[in-house]
Amino acid sequence: MDTQWSCAIMTPRDLLAWNVRKLRVKRGLSQERLALEAQLERVSISQLERKQVNLGVDSLGKIAAVLECKVFELFVEPKAGEEAPSNLPRGRKP
């Protein structure tokens, strides 16, 4: 398990990073594609997933729309024992 996710109690920032990455990977979207479709900068998505930035509510709404979820779903706690979200394989997607 990734040590950055190993804390027992997750902060809202931890939950947001966890769920954005989890939903993005589940939908097969790169950070670049998510940013493009949400009309945000790719670096914002990267920083969000690395817990380095707090985005505004409007930005979270855009991300949720692209990920086809409700904003509150970006703050759902992972199930006990759930593995940390993985990354997509490197390289450009067709």
**In this structure, what CATH number is given to the domain that contains residue 51?**
1.10.260.40
Which of 28, 5, 8, 27 shows the shortest CA–CA distance to 16?
5
pLDDT score of 2 more than 50 = no
Look at residue 63 and tell me if it is in a domain.
Answer: yes
Q: Give this prediction's pTM.
A: 0.83
Tokens, residue 60: 């979270």
Q: Does residue 36 sit within a domain? A: yes
Number of domains within the chain: 1
pLDDT at position 1 is 38
**Residue 92 in domain:** no
Whether 26 has a pLDDT exceeding 70, the answer reads yes
Residue 94 lies in a domain: no
The answer to whether position 21 is within a domain reads: yes
- Please report whether residue 54 resides in a domain: yes
Classify residue 44: in a domain, yes or no.
yes
Is 90 within the bounds of a domain? Answer: no
Residue 91: per-residue pLDDT: 63
Range of the domain at 26: 9-69
